Amino acid sequence: MKIIVCIKQVPNTTDVRINPETNTLIREGVESIINPFDMYAIEEAIRLKERLQETVEIQTLVITMGPPQAESALREALSMGIDEAVLVSDRAFAGSDTWATSYTLTEAIKTLGDYLVILFGKQASDGDTAQVGPGVAAHLDIPQITFVRKIEKMEKDCIVAERLMEYGYDVISSPLPAVITVVKEINEPRLPSLRGKMRAKKAEIKKITSDDINVEKKLLGLDGSPTIVKKIFSPPKKEPGRIFQEHELEDGLDFIVKTIREQNII
Amino acid sequence: MIIKKDKEIIKSYFEDNSGILNGDADEVYIPENMKECTRIITELYKKNIPITFSGSGTGMTGGRIPFKGAVLSSERLNKITLEQNKEKVLLKVEAGATLEDIKSACSKSGVFFPVNPTEETATIGASTSNNSSGSWTYKYGSFRNNILEIDFVTRNGVTLKITKNSHRFSGDSIFLKELSDKPLVRPMYTMPMVKNAAGYYSKKDMSLLDLIIGSEGTLGFISSITLKVLPMPKKVIECIVFFAFEKDAIQFVNKTRALRNTQNTLDPRALEFFNVNALKFLSEHHSSIPDNAKAGVVFEHELNDLSKEDEILESLLKLAEDCHAFLDNIWMADTPKRLEELRLFRHSLPSIVNEKFKRKEFYKLSTDSAVPDECLSDILDYYNYEIKKSGLTSIIFGHIGNNHFHVNLLAKKNEQEKAKDLYKKFMEKAVSLGGTISAEHGIGKLKKKYLPILYGQKGLNEMKRVKLYFDPKNLFNSGNLLDL
């Protein structure tokens, strides 16, 4: 039985800069990393295997759709302790939005054999959509639990998990297989180990192209993506707030009233 | 030149990380160029006004804390020039440039300065005066080993350009005609053969450069410094190896060092240590530390030939296996992001301790001794034995590659005297093993009463003679190192 983790390679967000003329991401010299939320999914997969391996034989598998260089993200996951890695990569996938990505990933996952759960980070730090996990669940027509902060129980055919809500959490029980998206409260991801690194360097990574999966070509990549990006831009800089000291109380109140009036709020 | 006199404003110049609270001065001079700097030093000296040279206040021993007179701050003297020709890169900086500043200047040219004190806001002038060091000192030495030239402003306004070879002692003395018609005679003590930042450097036939570096501002002002830089390594690997017994960690370090002297590929730039209590403190914030780990060693290695990576990793794994490390739990970082994670992990320990210290959970004393390689096991055994006997809480961490530990004694209110006694005992033991009382923090005002342990009263008198040769009125950084 497999535990599958879907990951995405993203630019290290502390470095993200946008070219003001072309409105595209400046990628030169920016480190590529595993989407930080996906690290929790990887860690949880390894922990679930450790928890379950006495009763079920589990293989953990990490899969990503992306350009050939996304292989380094897969090797990083292997170095943390994931057993196998699959790279879904083809020029035909370029320009995929979240719908086309979920569709392609789903078809790739269908070729991988039986699985218990498919884990995702709650969202990617570059696109921030949080749509691909639920998209895969929909395409596969299996249940999904999003924003999971704790997996209370997991057996061969059932899972009980806590879903983080704005105030408190829900306890949800679901049959398996299911899609789980996780939040950072769920665990503390481990660092890669020396042995893991050495193993990961030599590991073979399975490659899947559009020819290996049962897809309608017109539903792939840019052509298969219903989302149209009209414009990307850096948000305008926010003016810093004003702080009035105690002795400026009168001025402060006048300023607030004036501003509210100007903005036609009252 | 900026001159500040308002006590409310200048009181920030009376602080550093030493905890000394009674600093005071009448005015702060902030020269904006070298001419102003030289002029004010000469003028103040003529007027018999004490001058305390001030960096950014990251020191641990009160070196920049004044008690009277004037402060001369290097904050506006921070020009950096990076000259690149085909052969090499030369990095010349003014005293007030910080480690952070040179790091960013260097990275643009693909080079780095190989000394890495933790406090990156420290100024280069102050770090030179203190002969500072960091974790890479294991491979590259301290500031003293990485300085090519300094400009040194003397009491009479003369700026001496000093390189390793420009001003050499002939045997025990040197003539410095700019200062006196008599020769300067070096202190005749023998320095410990370990990483050291205690007292004046002294050796037969030494360079004046080595004396000025580490003299803690007591002889004059280091106004600019030319630093050695190296090409940035292609890749850096950092591992943390955990052990079930401290003696296994010691064996790991000894074996790694033994390999360095052979033709082996393993040549780490840093070997750092956490003892069992340090790991316990860290566990409060990092749950992935193995539960039964009793010691951890950080191993940092540069790679310039990427084809050697597998060989290095295999040698390291073999070494860890020989020393009974937790083989499945050797943490490894080899990307900028992961390296930064490990750096934050390592540096979180002093912050965790300081946080508790600030909340007044205890009073803290931190040792800074180093001993010779062959005494590594002895000194740790001694620390452990004495700490157990005293019943004090402590953590031990630091630069194990240099046999240099920071033993933090964490005493409750009624245990302070006991902690002070133990602190002194630890220094005496280190010296008796051929070590030093301070390997990197320096002596400043905080540790000068312990300096006789290392050099005896005779040695101190000889240091005074050197001090008065450069500064007959005892005005420069008065109170550092010596009481006159």
At A23, the pLDDT band (50, 70, 90 cuts) reads low
- The CATH number assigned to the domain with range A2-219 reads 3.40.50.620
Contact B1, B38 (CB under 8 A): no
- Which residues, at least 6 apart from B81, have a Cβ–Cβ distance to it below 8 Å? B90, B91, B92, B93
Both structure tokens of A105: 């990933």
Nearest-Cα distance to chain A for B345, in Å, is: 11
Nearest CA in chain B to A81: B328
Nearest-Cα distance to chain B for A234, in Å, is: 24
Residues of A in contact with B232 (CB under 8 A): none
Strands B80-84 and B89-94: antiparallel
From B286, B330, B335, residue closest to A194, measured CB to CB = B330
A191 reaches B (C-beta below 8 A): yes
d(CA B220, CA B152): 7
The H-or-E segment that residue B322 falls in is helix B309-322
Residue A98 has pLDDT above 90, yes or no: yes
Sequence spans of domains, chain A:
2-219
E-strand stretches of B171-244 = 173-175, 183-185, 221-228, 230-231, 235-243
Nearest to B18 by CA among B59, B54, B56: B59
Q: Can you give the pLDDT at residue A14? A: 64
ipTM: 0.85
d(CA B382, CA B429): 8
Sequence spans of domains, chain B:
2-73, 80-231, 235-432
Q: Are the Cβ atoms of B313 and A194 closer than 8 angstroms?
A: yes
pLDDT digits (tens, 9 = 90+) for B74-108: 999 999 999 887 777 889 999 999 999 999 999 88
Residues of B in contact with A191 (CB under 8 A): 288, 331-333, 338, 341-342
CATH topology of domain B235-432: Vanillyl-alcohol Oxidase; Chain A, domain 3 (3.40.462)
Q: Are the Cβ atoms of A192 and B336 closer than 8 angstroms?
A: no
One CATH from 3.40.1190.20, 3.40.1160.10, 3.30.365.10, 3.30.465.10 for B80-231: 3.30.465.10
Could you tell me which residues of chain B have a Cβ less than 8 Å from any Cβ in chain A?
Answer: 239, 286-288, 310, 313-314, 316-317, 320, 327-338, 341-342
- The CATH number assigned to the domain with range B2-73 reads 3.30.43.10
d(CA B449, CA B427): 12
Residues of A in contact with B330 (CB under 8 A): 193-195
Q: Are the Cβ atoms of A194 and B286 closer than 8 angstroms?
A: no
| Count of A-B CB contacts under 8 Å | 51
Residues of A in contact with B313 (CB under 8 A): 194, 197-198
Q: Are the Cβ atoms of A194 and B337 closer than 8 angstroms?
A: no
Nearest to B473 by CA among B201, B220, B125, B208: B220
Query: Over its length of 484 residues, how does chain B's per-residue pLDDT go in tens digits?
Result: 999 999 999 999 999 998 889 999 999 999 999 999 999 999 999 999 999 999 999 999 999 999 999 999 999 999 999 988 777 788 999 999 999 999 999 988 899 999 999 999 999 999 999 999 999 999 999 999 999 999 999 999 999 999 999 999 999 999 999 999 999 999 999 999 999 999 999 999 999 999 999 999 999 999 999 999 999 999 999 999 999 999 999 999 999 999 887 767 799 999 999 999 999 999 988 888 999 999 999 999 999 999 999 999 999 999 999 999 999 999 999 999 899 999 999 989 988 887 877 777 788 899 999 999 999 999 999 999 999 999 999 999 999 999 999 999 999 889 999 999 999 999 999 999 999 999 999 999 999 999 999 999 999 999 999 999 999 999 999 999 999 9
A79 reaches B (C-beta below 8 A): yes
Nearest-Cα distance to chain A for B339, in Å, is: 10
Q: Can you give the pLDDT at residue A25? A: 67
CA–centroid distance for A106 within its chain = 15
Contact B94, B223 (CB under 8 A): yes
Strands A9-11 and B270-275: unpaired
Residues of B in contact with A195 (CB under 8 A): 317, 327-328, 330
Count of all residues that appear for chain B in the document = 484
Q: Can you give the pLDDT at residue A16? A: 64
Q: Reduce the DSSP state of residue B317 to 3 states and report it.
A: helix
Average pLDDT on A204-229 reads: 92
Dihedral pair phi/psi, residue A183, rounded to 5° = -105, 170
Q: Are the Cβ atoms of B332 and A191 closer than 8 angstroms?
A: yes
A201 reaches B (C-beta below 8 A): yes
Residues of A in contact with B340 (CB under 8 A): none
Residue A27 has pLDDT above 70, yes or no: no
At A231, the pLDDT band (50, 70, 90 cuts) reads confident
Residue A264 has pLDDT above 70, yes or no: yes
Nearest-Cα distance to chain A for B330, in Å, is: 5
Nearest to B396 by CA among B419, B404, B249: B404
d(CA B400, CA B405): 7
Residue A22 has pLDDT above 70, yes or no: no
A190 reaches B (C-beta below 8 A): yes
Residues of A in contact with B328 (CB under 8 A): 193, 195
Q: Can you give the pLDDT at residue B85? A: 76
d(CA B281, CA B344): 14
Q: Can you give the pLDDT at residue A245? A: 85
- Which residues, at least 6 apart from B314, have a Cβ–Cβ distance to it below 8 Å? A198
Amino acid of residue A201: K
- Which residues, at least 6 apart from B459, have a Cβ–Cβ distance to it below 8 Å? B187, B188, B189, B199, B452
pLDDT digits (tens, 9 = 90+) for B412-469: 889 999 999 999 999 999 999 999 999 999 999 999 999 999 999 999 999 999 999 9
Q: Can you give the pLDDT at residue B457? A: 97
From B239, B286, B341, residue closest to A194, measured CB to CB = B239
Q: Work out the mean pLDDT of chain A and round it to a whole number.
A: 91
pLDDT digits (tens, 9 = 90+) for B308-349: 999 999 999 999 999 999 999 999 999 998 999 999 999 899
